[in-house]
Amino acid sequence: MKLECDVLVVGAGASGLSAAIEAADHGAGVIVLEKNSMPGGSSRLSVGSINAAGSSLQKRAGIVDTPDEHFADMDHFMGPFAGKDNLALRRLLVDNAAASLEWLMSHGLCFYGPTADPPHRHPRMHNVLPNSRAYPYYLGRAARRRGVDIRLDAPVLQILRDEGDGGVRGALARIGGQPVEVLARSGVVLASGDYSNDPEIKQRFRPELAAIPAINPTATGDGHKLGEALGARMVNGEVVYGPGLRFMEPSQPSLVRRLPPSWLLGKLMQWALNSLPASLFRPFVMSFMTASLGPEAALLRAGAVLVNREGRRFVDELVQPGLAIAQQPAGHAWLVFDSRVAQMFSGPPHYVSTAPGVAFAYLPDYQRHRPDLYHRADSLEALASSVGLPPDALRQAIDSHNAGLVTDTARAGGVVQGPFHALGPLESRIVITDGGLAVNTSHQVLRGDEVVPRLYAAGAVGQGGALLAGNGHHICWAVTSGRRAGRFAAQRLAPQPLA
């Protein structure tokens, strides 16, 4: 069996759907192949924020901001990877960010903001409403209205080569349980996400992280592997964010996660957030905050101790606790702390967790919204029984920890003042990866310094060395690169060299 189209898109996340819409708007017949049973990829699991300079929402708020300032501010997020960034692609991102935001709003998405997100010098964080499921909902709707054929449960097995010029002519996929050749006259766009949950690629670049699972279990580097099979190379494969600490998800999705991503609800929330006291909406926002995030490192620096299921302290909390948690029984750990730390993290400026530009969550929020995670008792033994830990082991672990603090000046204090508190279980997760196939500024995939004819990459698989640390850059890149790659594929660009 064979299917034919002008542009084939591999992946139906924010980048793939953006590519499909833009290709269709430029006259292409488009097929999208998505391996999962629903579209959205990592975008539907995200906070959903976009950092953009010069947006209409900034201008409405009287904020003067420029892409040049955004470009410079991204330097603050590079950390140990400074010097590895593809500055040409960073330039492309910041120059197109505001246009991508406006494009999303033109398709029905609503955003609140801009809000501050230091060290960005201006408020330029735009937060999607009512939740990140708005991305696949509205982009999927826009694609289907343009006649895009979106096939779900359709994993791509292989990119088909054109033996004439060494380029691509389509893909072999499994559709309805059967192998199907999908031929693409103009181009193929890889938009299949990152490799945060792929042990093989992580083993190659960051072996210490290979066994640690990702927030998105289906992010298995499919497009990276498909491109490498054609001779493409990966750039910055070692840039992996994590392991981060995450509280276990609640058994039922939070209220915010269950909200339908309707335009009317988004507009109502946008009006309310801009017009009514924040205190009215804080409980509503907290149901999302306490369901999707993990604790800040400040909680550990203040004196919280990590213990495993056996009640043992197993790591110096200030030195890569995520790696150690992954090696514990069931991969679980609990934060144990006393009344001094509990009081400190019960209000500003000390927060347990945050979604920048959205809200801060404090200990009473976890007590109110996540009783499955929060425990409190007058003694360590009673706390252990409440959590389900061996009481004698927990007492011994805390006593040993407190005794060792005499010579440890890095910590604020021990676990000594009752009542005692615990949060958990915690898990260790890889958040996202920044390694991508080498591409030029037209998003054409490179084999050495030459392009692979008719092969494009967008989103995480097409980062090409761009580093997107900091909030609000990954989805912005997904949409920006997806739109451009889809447009260029539809126009069937002549091969362009590395820019």
Q: Where are the domains of the chain?
A: 2-241+432-491, 244-429
H helix or E strand, kind and range, residue 269: helix 263-275
Closest CA to 21 of 89, 94, 93, 100: 100
Q: What angle do CA 215, 220, 222 make, to 5 degrees?
A: 145
Range list of β-strands (E), 191-262: 234-235, 240-241, 244-247
* CATH of region 2-241+432-491: 3.50.50.60
CA angle 241, 247, 251 (to 5 degrees): 125
Determine the 3-state secondary structure of 301 from DSSP.
helix
The confidence score (pLDDT) of residue 467 equals 96
Distance CA 334, CA 422 (A): 6
Strand locations in 34-91 (E): 49-51
Can you tell me the distance from the alpha carbon of 401 to that of 406, in angstroms, rounded to the nearest whole number? 10
Per-residue tokens: 134: 């708005």
The number of CA neighbours under 13 Å toward the Cβ of 283 is 4
Which residues touch 449 (CB under 8 Å, ≥6 apart)?
Answer: 497, 498
Give dist(CA 432, CA 46) in Å, integer: 10
pTM, two decimal places: 0.89
CA distance 161 to 452: 10
Q: Distance (Å, rounded) from C-alpha 422 to C-alpha 386?
A: 9
What gap in Å lies between CA 20 and CA 165, rounded to an integer?
25
Amino acid letter, residue 31? I
Question: How far, in Å, CA of 385 to CA of 254, rounded?
Answer: 28
Cα dist from 358 to 49, 111, 126, 467, 471, whole Å: 9, 11, 9, 23, 11
181, β-bridge pairs: 2, 172
Residue whose pair of structure tokens reads 């309805």 in the numeric block: 176
* Cα gap 326→345, rounded to integer Å: 26
pLDDT of 93: 98
Closest C-alpha among 197, 404, 194, 412 to residue 298: 412
What are the φ and ψ backbone dihedral angles of 170, each rounded to 5 degrees?
150, -155
Tens digit of pLDDT per residue, the chain (499 long)?
899 999 999 999 999 999 999 999 999 999 999 999 999 998 888 888 999 999 999 999 999 999 999 999 999 998 888 889 999 999 999 999 999 999 999 999 999 889 888 899 999 999 888 888 899 999 999 999 999 999 999 999 999 999 899 899 999 999 999 999 999 999 999 999 999 999 999 999 999 999 999 999 999 999 999 999 999 999 999 999 989 899 887 766 655 555 667 666 666 666 666 666 655 555 555 555 455 678 999 999 999 999 999 999 999 999 989 999 999 999 999 999 999 999 999 999 999 988 665 568 899 989 988 899 999 999 999 999 999 999 999 999 999 999 888 655 556 678 999 999 999 999 999 999 999 999 999 999 999 989 999 999 999 999 999 999 988 999 999 999 999 999 999 998 655 443 3
146, two tokens: 């343009």
C-alpha torsion sign, points 101, 197, 171, 31: negative
Q: Per the structure block, which two tokens stand in for 26?
A: 């430029």
Whether the CB-CB separation of 143 and 157 falls below 8 Å is answered with no
Calculate the CA 79 to chain-centre distance: 18
Residue with structure tokens 């084999």? 447
Token pair belonging to 152: 């779900």
Residue 50: both structure tokens together: 């976009």
Rounded to whole angstroms, how far apart are CA atoms 14 and 41? 7
Q: Are 135 and 42 in contact (CB under 8 A)?
A: no
From residue 481, alpha-carbon distances to 10, 91, 404, 443 in Å are: 14, 12, 52, 7
- Are 485 and 477 a contacting pair, CB within 8 Å? no
Q: Helix/strand/coil (H, E, C) string of 147-186?
A: CCEEECCCCEEEEEECCCCCCEEEEEEEECCEEEEEEEEE
In this structure, what token pair is assigned to residue 60? 């409405």
CA angle 478, 482, 487 (to 5 degrees): 160
* Model pLDDT, residue 298: 93
Letter string b/e over residues 320-345, b meaning 16 or more CB atoms within 10 A of that residue's CB: ebbebbbebeebbbbbbbbeebbebb
Count CA atoms within 13 Å of residue 150 on its CB side. 28
**244-429: CATH architecture:** Alpha-Beta Complex (3.90)
H or E segment to which residue 340 belongs? helix 339-344
8-state DSSP, 466:
-
Residue-level pLDDT at 278: 56
**Where do we find the tokens 């591409």?**
439
d(CA 360, CA 348): 9
